[in-house]
Structure 1
Amino acid sequence: MVLHDPADVAGFAGLVRPLLASDPLSHTVTLTVLDGLVRQGEPAEVLLSLHEGHELVGAALRTPGRPLQASAVPVDHAAAVDAALATADPALPGVTGPTGPAEAFAAAHTSRTGAERHVDRALRLFTLGVLAPPTDVPGAARRAGPADAELLADWRVAFGVEEGMPWVEPRTPAEVVTAGIDSGAGEVLWEVDGTAVCQAAARPVVAGMSRIGPVYTPPEHRRHGYAAAATAAAARWALDEGAHTVLLFTDRNNATTNAIYPRIGFVPVHDAVELSFSENRH
């Protein structure tokens, strides 16, 4: 096991990206987080690789304020990784990833520390089969530009509030949106009569994969099919950019979104979870 210099993101990416790219569905978030760090030249909080002999068998990373990305931590290495982070990352706030590795790490962490685990988000990953855009939704899609950053930033914050996810990024929402636009992300707005009514963001293609999210429609514009239309437009953008895998997450408990996306061609892949840790006060 190797703990890498958090400032050497590019070196770490060169080491672990082939492992992550071998299964882009399982490692979609880890891949895009790592790609974002490299593009923006920002340090991580934790960078860790796992080895058996000369073979790389796993990896984990964490960015400031966010949970550990554990998609590439083998279940049987969870306890060893947690033990290594006891010193390297004592303020670890949580863990996220596909349910299996995330829950295994959480079990190891709570066993060692006595902390309590909380389910912050129960997610379902979908992948695009055959795209079937809705044909009965008024309006049209367009790519967002720098002039739209303020609107998109406000919508990012509103989305987080509705999802119970307070803003924890060290950068402001406007800075995050602007960086995404500058990096070539597919920020798509759906407009009706010149008014933006919905947005869907597709990340730049990494390892042949692009993931869509967030998708947000202000309350006053809901129940018109705009989210499905904007998501389909973002998926079309990703395919045109060369993605052969287009993904998105839904809230497992949201019956509406879990019904919308299959209608435009998405099929479920696996469940994932975001867990947080807190001190056990009992």
Structure 2
Amino acid sequence: MTWSFTDSPAVFRAAAGGHLAAEAARNTAVLTLMDTAARLGWWAEGDGRVTGVLVVPPSGAPSLGATTDEAARALAPAGLLGDGRRPTVVRGETAAVEAYAEATGRPWAPTTRMRLFRLGDLTPQDPAPGGRARLATEADVPLAAVWTAEFAVAMGYEPAEDYTGFLTERISEERLWLWEAPDGRPVSMAAVSRTIEGQARVHLVHTPPAERRRGYAAGVTEAVSRAARDAGAAQVLLFTDLSNPTSNALYQRLGYRPVTDHLSVTFTG
């Protein structure tokens, strides 16, 4: 039983592809980050079965996919970053992250508790919000960049200096949607990841504070969820912050159902 590591998505997929496909929903973060990852890892049992995976994005904050507690604990001496440094932030399914954190012997604290949801029967909001959904265009990049920075801050991240490339990629692939108010103003946005192993994940759901409580987030989330499903995603997923009962209730009204809980921890020493 051992962890193996690579910086090659092709090598990673060849080794862990069966596990990634069998647990596509639980591995959503790994699947959506692996093509740009700085490091990828998989845990193989004695019989060769892979029962744990991880991804280290360029930011250096590792995410554990579907991983057994035993595999998570084994990471404490094996290392996550591979260069002698120890991560300050680790994310993933709650049980695995807690097993890893406790095994390190380092002081740590939970920072964000998330819940992964999967879409069942899509249920439009009733009554429907005023306005309509539309795909974003390049002309929307300046406004969407401001909203993306606001979203990052709300999630506890340091906003990037420039989101042009990030947004242009999603716009060119028709993965970024806006909701327009009845007067034509964009008032909310949502994006969806590429579909990988049959799963796609809704993200970047944001409505400026002045436009909230009008149903716009529900409208744009419904639109992007429907678009992902129509494009062939067998599983449409999203994460919610467990400290936000409003968003948790909203997504469940739209037909999303819980899959598993996730935890982000920060090491404090």
- The question of a shared fold, defined as TM-score above 0.5 by the shorter chain, is answered with yes
Task: Report the equivalent of 1:126.
Answer: 117
Aligned residues: 264
Identity of aligned residues (%): 34
Task: Report the equivalent of 2:24.
Answer: 24
User: Is the 1:126–1:270 Cα contact (8 Å) retained in structure 2?
Assistant: yes
Task: Identify the range of structure 1 (11-20 vs 130-139) with the bigger mean alpha-carbon deviation.
Answer: 11-20
**In 1, Cα distance between the equivalents of 2:235 and 2:75?**
30
Q: CA deviation at 1:87?
A: 7.4
Q: CA deviation at 1:51?
A: 1.9
Task: Identify the range of structure 1 (52-61 vs 258-267) with the bigger mean alpha-carbon deviation.
Answer: 52-61
Structure 1 residues 40-76: Cα deviation after superposition (integer angstroms, max 9, x where no partner): xx4x332222223433332212012242111233211
Q: CA RMSD in A?
A: 2.0
Tell me, what secondary structure is at the counterpart of 1:270?
strand
Counterpart among 70, 89, 92 of residue 87 in structure 2: 92
Residue 254 (1) aligns with residue 244 (2): yes
Q: CA deviation at 1:174?
A: 2.0
**In 1, Cα distance between the equivalents of 2:178 and 2:81?**
44
User: Is the 2:62–2:80 Cα contact (8 Å) retained in structure 1?
Assistant: no
Counterpart among 67, 70, 75 of residue 61 in structure 2: 67
Q: TM-score normalised to the size of structure 1?
A: 0.86
Task: Report the equivalent of 1:83.
Answer: 77
Task: Identify the range of structure 1 (51-60 vs 90-99) with the bigger mean alpha-carbon deviation.
Answer: 51-60
- Cα–Cα, structure 1 residues 225 and 80, in superposed 2: closer, same or farther, change >3 Å? same
User: Is the 2:3–2:78 Cα contact (8 Å) retained in structure 1?
Assistant: no
Structure 1 residues 204-223: Cα deviation after superposition (integer angstroms, max 9, x where no partner): 11111111112000111111
**In 2, Cα distance between the equivalents of 1:180 and 1:48?**
27
**In 1, Cα distance between the equivalents of 2:190 and 2:246?**
16
Task: Report the equivalent of 2:50.
Answer: 56
5+ residue gaps, structure 1: none
Task: Report the equivalent of 2:212.
Answer: 222
Q: CA deviation at 1:130?
A: 0.8
Provide runs of 4+ in structure 1 moved above 6 Å: none
Task: Report the equivalent of 2:201.
Answer: 211
- Cα–Cα, structure 1 residues 150 and 13, in superposed 2: closer, same or farther, change >3 Å? farther
- Cα–Cα, structure 1 residues 72 and 264, in superposed 2: closer, same or farther, change >3 Å? closer
Task: Report the equivalent of 2:166.
Answer: 176
